[in-house]
Structure 1
Amino acid sequence: MLAKRIIPCLDVDHGRVKKGVNFVNLTDVGDPVAIAQAYEQQGADELVFLDITATNEKRKAFTDTIAAVASQVFMPLTVGGGINALEDMQALLKAGADKIALNSAAVHNPDLIRQGAEKFGQQCIVCAIDVRYQPEKDRYQVVINGGRKPTDLDALDWAQTAVSAGAGELLVTSMDCDGTKKGFDLKLYQALTAVVDVPIVASGGCGQISDFTELFKETTVDAGLAASVFHFGTLTIPQVKAELKQNEVPIRE
């Protein structure tokens, strides 16, 4: 079994890190450079940066913020938000990103995944998928534009399409669980890992240390992502890694 990754997520809005519940009611958390430095010192395996308002506001992605962070930290950075063309990807990679997360733009133009994978390599292209459970259809629905615009896409179908197009990793967020601190949506990740064979990063719902252990014991996802519990000091990366090690979950030292 490959070592599992622990990844803090920084949702950025106009240069500041924000956190909400179910994608709304955002609270200012702080400066992205300072927060990224703190996570690197704690031993985070990677960082994810998402510009959560770029798509809705039709802005380009935040290269200045990424350049500032990349000059101070040396762990891998995945960056998403406001990326609509190869030029946007190139600008972010040049600024210091290691991986590019495509979300809404990929839904509108799946060929963007293929273009990015061909130019920069599959390992560089992450398809970020925000999902909400639809009980009336008994399926997970893809939602775009920072959780504001439902689509008619089934999340499992879209995950397979994205991987076929060249996505080397999936970052899948449960909107139902996001910010609730009630645990990860295990059924979602069990269903996803059954239909795709690329690494999956699980996001949304972590509230206590046992949630990480449960995620890795009950599913075969490759990484657990969290924001609130790390931003507000409920948990630290060393605490999570120590707990996982004690439960015989392989981790990166």
Structure 2
Amino acid sequence: MLTKRIIPCLDVKDGRVVKGVNFVNLRDAGDPVELAALYDREHADELVFLDISASVEGRATMVEVVRQTAGEISIPFTVGGGISAVEDMTRILRAGADKVGINTAAVNNPQLISDGARRFGSQCIVVAVDARYNAEWQEWEVYTHGGRKATGIKTLEWVKRVEQLGAGEILLTSMDADGTKDGFDVPLTSAVSGSVSIPVIASGGAGQVAHFHEAFTKGQADAALAATIFHYKEIAISEVKQDLREKGVEVR
């Protein structure tokens, strides 16, 4: 069994890390470069950096902040937000990212997944999927533009397509659970993990140490991502890993 990964997420807006609830009511959580260095020291397995307003504002990710962050850390680093062409991927990878995350652009132009995978390898391409439960469908719907726009696309169909197109990983965020601290969306995570063979990162809802164990066991996730609880020092990464080890889950 592959070891499970614990991944802090830096949601960056206007050069600062922010965090909200259900994608709204954002509050400041600090400097991205300083936080990245801290998580590197605290033995996070990876780091995700999302420029959350880039797609909405129609601009490129802040390359300089990416470059500074990459210079402070030794762990793998995924950057997303405003990446809409292979040239954008090239720029972000050159700035020091190990992987690129695409969401809105992937939905608008699925060919971008294939083009990126061909150019840089599947392991470089992370497709971020923001999903919200649609009661009418009794299934989850994909949202884009930082959770602002419903697409009419069913999540389970989309993740299968994403895998076929060459994505190496799926970053799955439950919009219903995001920022609530009530736990990861286990039904969603489990459904997506069961639909694809590439790694799935569970995101949205972490509030207690026990929630990570649920994401890995009941949700069958390969990695679990959190922001609020780590940024505000409510839970330490070491605590999460210790709990998982004690419960027989393999971590680094």
- Same fold, judged at TM 0.5 (above): yes
Deviations 1:156-180 (A, max 9, x none): 0000111110000000000000000
Following superposition, the deviation at residue 219 of structure 1 comes to 2.6
Partner of 1:91: 91
Query: SS of the residue aligned with 1:136?
Result: coil
User: What is the correspondence of 1:4-43 to structure 2 with a 5 Å cutoff?
Assistant: 4-43=4-43
Q: Distance in 2 between matches of 1:85 and 1:215?
A: 32
Query: SS of the residue aligned with 1:56?
Result: helix
Q: Which runs of 4+ in 1 moved over 4 A?
A: none
Query: SS of the residue aligned with 2:117?
Result: helix
Partner of 2:47: 47
Q: Distance in 1 between matches of 2:74 and 2:82?
A: 24
Q: Distance in 1 between matches of 2:221 and 2:137?
A: 25
User: What is the correspondence of 1:99-138 to structure 2 with a 5 Å cutoff?
Assistant: 99-138=99-138
Partner of 2:145: 145
Letter in 1 for 2:234: T
Partner of 1:161: 161
Q: How many equivalent residue pairs? A: 252
Letter in 2 for 1:54: A
Q: Distance in 1 between matches of 2:145 and 2:215?
A: 27
Letter in 2 for 1:46: E
| TM-score, scaled to structure 1 | 0.99
Letter in 2 for 1:29: A
Deviations 1:177-215 (A, max 9, x none): 000000001111111111100000000000000001111
Partner of 1:229: 229
Query: SS of the residue aligned with 2:41?
Result: helix
Q: Distance in 1 between matches of 2:190 and 2:25?
A: 29
Q: Distance in 2 between matches of 1:52 and 1:123?
A: 22
Partner of 2:209: 209
Deviations 1:207-247 (A, max 9, x none): 00000111112132100000001001110010100000000
Identity %: 52
Query: SS of the residue aligned with 1:55?
Result: helix
Query: Which is worse superposed, 211-220 or 194-203?
Result: 211-220
| TM-score, scaled to structure 2 | 0.99
Partner of 2:71: 71
Query: SS of the residue aligned with 2:112?
Result: helix
Letter in 1 for 2:7: I
Letter in 1 for 2:204: G
Q: Distance in 1 between matches of 2:193 and 2:216?
A: 12
Query: SS of the residue aligned with 1:3?
Result: coil
Partner of 1:218: 218
Query: SS of the residue aligned with 1:133?
Result: strand
Q: Distance in 1 between matches of 2:159 and 2:40?
A: 30
**Which sections of structure 1, spanning at least 5 residues, go unmatched?**
none
User: What is the correspondence of 1:178-193 to structure 2 with a 5 Å cutoff?
Assistant: 178-193=178-193
